[in-house]
Structure formats: C-alpha cells, structure tokens
C-alpha cells in the first residue's frame, strides 16, 4: 500500500515542484517505486522527470485519465523506479469537469474525492505517491490533500510565503474533515539566501512561529538547484550538488514518516573528513 505525500502551499515559486522531483529522485535511488502525480497544469514536474515537453504528450495526460477513470493508461515511465502521471494546460478544465460531470451539485463531498478514486487501483504498485500542486488554492489542491497520508509545506524565505503557511494549515484542517488520516509532516524552509538580511530573518520568524513543524534543514538558494529545470537529473557535478542539498531534509522526512534510514553514508563521510582536518591541524 503506497504512502501518498502532497507538496503544497497556496504560494507560487517556492520550490514545490523542484522539491517533489528531488524527493522522487532520492527515493528512487533507494530502490523505492515512486509515482509522481502532476496536479499542476504548468506541467513542470512532468517535464523535470520525463524531459518531455507538453506537446509530446498532448491528449495523454492526467485530465484524460480523470475523464476515462483510468490512470494506468496515461502513466509515463520516467526512469527505472519513477513513473509520472503527467499534466498539461488541459488540466485547467479540472474544476469544470468536477462540477459538471464528476460531482454535480447535490453530491456532497464527492468533488474532493476524484483523485483518490483515480489512484485507488494503483496503491499496490508503488511505495510512494508524490503529488505536486499548483500555486493557488484550487480543486487540484483539495483533491490532493484528500488523497494523501502526508502534506509537506514549502515556504520560501519571504513575507507572502510566511503568511500563506497558516492559510495552508487551515486548508489541511478542512481536508481532514473528509480525510482524517492526513498529517502535516512539516514546513520546509527553502530558497534561503543567507547574504540577505530579510531572507535570514524569515527563516527565523518561520522557525519561531512554527517550532514543532519546521524541518531542521534549511535549503539554500543555489544556482545549481535552479538549473535542474534545464538539465533534469543528468549525471553532472552541479546537479549532484543540488541533490545533495536535499539529503538531510530527506532523512528528516523519512524519520517523520517513521521510516528507518539505511545508514547515512554521507553523514559518516562528512564526519571522517572532519577528523582528517583535525589531525592535519594537530599533528604538526
């Protein structure tokens, strides 16, 4: 039975898609089978993981899957362990489809259960299902939360991301009335620019406001991470650097889901490197 995680907040450009893609990649490297569900009509996570542009999978998207109630038909294999249910601009029809076809007035909370119903037959095929969501609150977001075991909140170090956190937590509370299993795993402070006073200040303000929710790891704003959108998960030094930035967060994420880590190789390497520096300094 897959565990489903939604990466979200009603704020744009805070690294929701990049984080979803990197977590999928880290999971796949551990041999986990991952389905990434693109619930954003921008289709960015579809592009990041498959390398395909929207015109290369036109009429073969998650919106088509909804209309036919058949997800399997539209899944794209992105790599050995990662499958993607891709989105394109056509997903803009999702609310209209919900209210006119899937859950007309009088059908109660059916309107937030479409994604849950679509993914139900796939639950035994994957270890994890990761859902990327659009920047503003929408039927896509509420459907994602009602489908999920967990939500991860993304927050850039900025005022409008900060003020969106409480609103997103309120959104999860509403989703819990339909899906009581939903748990907010935490807030990932992202795209921090330590050279900027205001960026550093918001890292602290978010930490002080949500001490029980923030992850200890803070992700830096790095050119290498931004370039992931250009190169995808290719085997080069810069991309490796971008991915390694997320490794400590990934360990925290697993811990909060109650998943035992299979040993932190990188942590051990780091410790040994420090020991080497120490002996160089003292053995003179």
Ligand X SMILES: Nc1ncnc2c1ncn2[C@@H]1O[C@H](COP(=O)(O)OP(=O)(O)OP(=O)(O)O)[C@@H](O)[C@H]1O
Quick one: 103 or 214, whose CB is closer to ligand X?
214
**Exactly one of 4, 17, 171, 225 binds Mg ion (CB under 5 A); which one?**
17
Does 44 engage in binding with Mg ion (CB under 5 A)?
yes
**Exactly one of 229, 234, 236, 244 binds ligand X (CB under 6 A); which one?**
229
Nearest CA to 61 out of 48, 79, 80, 42 is that of: 42
Q: What are phi and psi of 4, to 5 degrees?
A: -110, 130
According to DSSP, residue 261 is labeled: P
Does 18 engage in binding with ligand X (CB under 6 A)?
yes
The rounded distance, in Å, linking the Cα atoms of 259 and 276 is 32
Nearest CA to 64 out of 97, 113, 31, 28 is that of: 97
Q: Using CB distances below 5 to 8 A depending on partner kind, what does residue 93 bind out of Mg ion, ligand X, none?
A: none
How many residues lie near Mg ion (CB under 5 A)? 3
Q: What are phi and psi of 151, to 5 degrees?
A: -125, 140
Interaction with ligand X in 26-65: which residues (CB under 6 A)?
A: 40, 42, 44
Quick one: 17 or 199, whose CB is closer to Mg ion?
17
Q: Using CB distances below 5 to 8 A depending on partner kind, what does residue 15 bind out of ligand X, Mg ion, none?
A: ligand X
The rounded distance, in Å, linking the Cα atoms of 225 and 98 is 36
**Exactly one of 82, 225, 243, 250 binds ligand X (CB under 6 A); which one?**
225
Q: Using CB distances below 5 to 8 A depending on partner kind, what does residue 140 bind out of Mg ion, ligand X, none?
A: none
Contact of 13 with 161, CB cutoff 8 Å: no
Tokens representing 172 are 């999860």
Q: Given the rule CB under 5 A, which residues bind Mg ion?
A: 16-17, 44
Q: Given the rule CB under 6 A, which residues bind ligand X?
A: 12-18, 40, 42, 44, 135, 190-191, 219, 221-222, 225-226, 229
């Amino acid at each position: 039975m897959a565990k489903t995680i939604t990466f979200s907040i009603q704020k744009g450009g805070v690294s929701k898609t990049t984080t979803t893609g990197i977590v999928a990649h880290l999971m796949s490297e551990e041999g986990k089978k991952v389905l990434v569900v693109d619930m954003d009509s921008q289709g960015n996570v579809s592009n990041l993981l498959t390398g395909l542009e929207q015109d290369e999978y036109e009429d073969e998207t998650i919106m088509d899957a909804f209309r036919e109630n058949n997800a399997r038909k539209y899944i794209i294999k992105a790599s050995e362990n990662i499958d993607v249910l891709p989105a394109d601009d056509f997903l803009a029809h999702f609310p209209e489809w919900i209210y006119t076809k899937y859950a007309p007035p009088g059908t109660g909370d059916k309107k937030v259960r479409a994604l849950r119903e679509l993914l139900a037959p796939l639950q035994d095929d994957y270890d994890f299902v990761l859902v990327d969501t659009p920047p503003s609150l929408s039927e896509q977001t509420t459907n994602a939360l009602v489908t999920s075991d967990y939500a991860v909140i993304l927050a850039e170090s900025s005022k409008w991301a900060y003020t969106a956190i409480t609103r997103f937590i309120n959104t999860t509370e509403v989703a819990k009335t339909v899906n009581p299993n939903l748990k907010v795993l935490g807030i990932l402070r992202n795209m921090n620019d330590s050279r900027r006073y205001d960026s550093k200040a918001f890292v602290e303000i978010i930490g002080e406001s949500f001490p029980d929710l923030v992850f200890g790891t803070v992700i830096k704003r790095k050119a290498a991470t931004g370039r992931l959108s250009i190169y995808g998960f290719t085997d080069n030094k810069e991309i490796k650097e971008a991915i390694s930035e997320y490794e400590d967060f990934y360990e925290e994420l697993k811990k909060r889901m109650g998943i035992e880590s299979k040993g932190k190789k990188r942590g051990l390497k780091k410790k040994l490197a420090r020991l080497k520096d120490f002996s160089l300094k003292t053995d003179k």
